[in-house]
Amino acid sequence: MKSKPDNREDNVDRIQCNISNTIKNHRLADEAIEETDNEKTRRELTAKNERREQALNSMREEIKDEEEDKENGYK
């Protein structure tokens, strides 16, 4: 059985979609933080948003790498 060839043509689009979803979730969590009086919920949502920010930075770096690789013909 042959393995599927590595097709990276849609990686930038896929990563950008993930970035958009993460930003949306970050905003929704910010809204929930503002609306809740529950301190535990606030701490949990704040921690999630911190992880989201780290993930966003990583995804943005990954997009840069993918765009460079695409320009260089994925060599």
pLDDT digits (tens, 9 = 90+) for 23-68: 999 999 999 999 999 999 999 999 999 999 999 999 999 999 988 8
Buried b (16+ CB within 10 A) or exposed e, 14-46: ebeeebeebeeebeebeeebeeeeeeeeeeebe
What is this structure's pTM?
Answer: 0.82
Residue 72 is classified by DSSP as: T
pLDDT of residue 14: 92
Asked if 13 and 62 touch (Cβ cutoff 8 Å), the reply is: no
CA gyration radius, the chain? 17
Decide if pLDDT at 75 tops 70.
no
Distance of alpha carbon 54 from alpha carbon 75, whole angstroms: 28
Domain ranges of the chain: 11-70
